[in-house]
Structure 1
């Protein structure tokens, strides 16, 4: 066969996966929160109004920062699912809408100089609470879908990172549920409501009224228990546990004891158990009306026991990994 009649060779198709894009609705939320964070910072400087002893724009600032971190984490995570991509997209979109609704309601109330949470004292306040309730329910449902339908079935991520996100979502969901208990009226609020007096419904401090002395920036009570502490810690397990997994992978390049994937997965599980223990411990401490940095002997003993258990479990896991390497 002459060279003129030979067919040109067909190019081999490139089957390598393309770059994974971020979830756009959640990415939009992250952009909105970045702009909102700058706006609330300006509000803290320009607006000297206070509410409950704190600047009116402090609460929106904290929520924009927290929601932004949460949104960008899920915007990165959701497109990496192999199974149920459509479900993941819609769940993420519902979460994006819920985050925007919550943030809009909180910012609207701050501009009015009114409480956003626990507040049904005027018709407008009651309508805002209804919007926030729908948003919270959407957050619950969206996270539950990701936990049950996706993370328990999908195996797209590396094992240690997959387990970190699984437990991160589970602990974050528990933190959302903890937020529900802040809406339970106190005895004084029940009495005021029965007397027909306008009152807030719910509180985040235990043993003292809301609005007392608090830590800088966070506002967490320094004279009583504060349910916002375990709520905050639980919500950000979704970022901290994956960081533990990534740190273990980075260390495994220099530490042979961490070279096995199974060892790193077990250490992530130990970290998740310890983190859940911290959330439970701070919840227990708050309900006993203790400030975070003024624990009694019982709380300190429980913390010490938790630290010992986590450290012992981590040592056992690492030692088992080393023993397996020697047998090989």
Structure 2
């Protein structure tokens, strides 16, 4: 994936083709960078599995996931070379076959990730904060990946046309390929399921990052040295992340651009922020029996 990221970056410079309003090499670049982060996180999580049997099952699940990821990227890059759209493409029998194969690889990838999540849920990891950081982040990432299944559902307009050249969409309320944010291409005129998809999947990195920050600060702040405080903060962080993911999904499904939230979305975001701050404050409280002992 690192090698493909370099090739895609070179493609952005050397190939001026545009597809759906974005440089044609932007998609393989974004996907390869995402898979780099995803792969590194999973490798670390698999290293936490205790016992030879769990490690063996985890190795096979990781290998299947890797193979599915490689097939996915080969198909995406092949379509880029052809100058064709990879996702939702139903224009020709070959394009349809490519997209269906991609759909199959995504299902295999998701099931392999689910197996790894089950292994992590059952694993006895000594540090409870670490255990729950990897468990909850893997579950949120699974939910984020599952948003991709929503994207392949045909729109009402596509169902009305049996010969529709596209099946599915990532935008809601507007056609794919309209005005979008720089770099990401996320729609600025309608809902975009890619936002929740991206945010959810990268819980795999961001939730454990909360734990790493807490561990780094522990030598300077006595309360963070308490593993129970770190555990409570991880739970608050994961809960806030999951709530934000749900809000982003809901916002997209209502056809609302990320940067143009309505009053309902803003109220929900404010409630999540308030509950997160309150939860963090409660998590940082030192148990009274420890205060008396001090």
Q: 1:156 and 2:125 equivalent?
A: yes
CA–CA separation in structure 2 for the residues paired with 1:106 and 1:51 = 13
8 Å Cα contact 2:158-2:164 kept in structure 1 = no
The equivalent residue for 1:4 is none
Contact 2:172-2:190 within 8 A present in 1 as well? yes
1:218 aligned onto 2:184: yes
For 1:280-299, list aligned pairs within 5 A.
280-299=246-265
Does 1:271 pair with 2:237?
A: yes
Deviations 1:119-140 (A, max 9, x none): 1221211221232122111111
Q: Distance in 1 between matches of 2:181 and 2:39?
A: 26
Quick one: which of 236, 249, 252 aligns to 2:215? 249
Map 1:8-47 onto structure 2 (within 5 A): 33-47=1-15
Partner residue in 2 for 1:172: 141
Q: Is the CA contact 2:132–2:234 (under 8 Å) kept in the aligned structure 1?
A: yes
Gaps of 5+ in 2: none
- For residue 288 of structure 1, report the CA deviation from its aligned partner: 1.4
Aligned mate of 2:23, from 32, 37, 55: 55
* Aligned match of 1:131: 101
Report the equivalent of 1:229. 195
Residue 114 of structure 1 aligns to a residue whose secondary structure is: coil
Counterpart-to-counterpart distance in 1, 2:22 and 2:280: 42
Q: In the alignment, does 2:289 pair up with 1:327?
A: no
- How many pairs align? 291
TM-score of the superposed pair, with normalisation by structure 2: 0.96
Verify: 1:100 aligned to 2:70, yes or no: yes
Per the alignment, residue 150 of structure 2 pairs with 181
Give the TM-score normalised by the residue count of structure 1: 0.86
Q: Which runs of 5+ in 1 are unaligned?
A: 1-32
Aligned to 2:38: 70
Residue 145 of structure 1: how far off its partner (Å): 0.7
CA distance in 1, matches of 2:10, 2:193: 28
Q: Is contact 1:161-1:246 (8 Å) kept?
A: no
Highest Rg: 1 or 2?
A: 1
Contact 1:60/1:103 (8 A) holds in 2: yes
Quickly say closer, same or farther: Cα 1:255–1:152, change in 2 above 3 A. Answer: same
Q: Which residue of 2 aligns with 1:81?
A: 49
The C-alpha deviation readout for 1:188-219, integer Å capped at 9, x for no partner, is 111122xxx34200011111110000000000
Deviations 1:25-82 (A, max 9, x none): xxxxxxxx11101100111111111111111111111001001110121122213311
Over aligned residue pairs, what C-alpha RMSD do you find? 1.2
1:156-181 C-alpha deviation (Å, 9 max, x unpaired):
36321221111110001001111100
**Deviation (angstroms), 1:262:** 1.1
- Counterparts of 2:281 and 2:9 in 1: how far apart (Å)? 44
Q: Which is bigger in relative contact order (C-alpha 8 A, separation at least 6)?
A: 2
Contact 2:178 2:187 in 1 (8 A): yes
Q: Which runs of 4+ in 1 moved over 4 A?
A: none
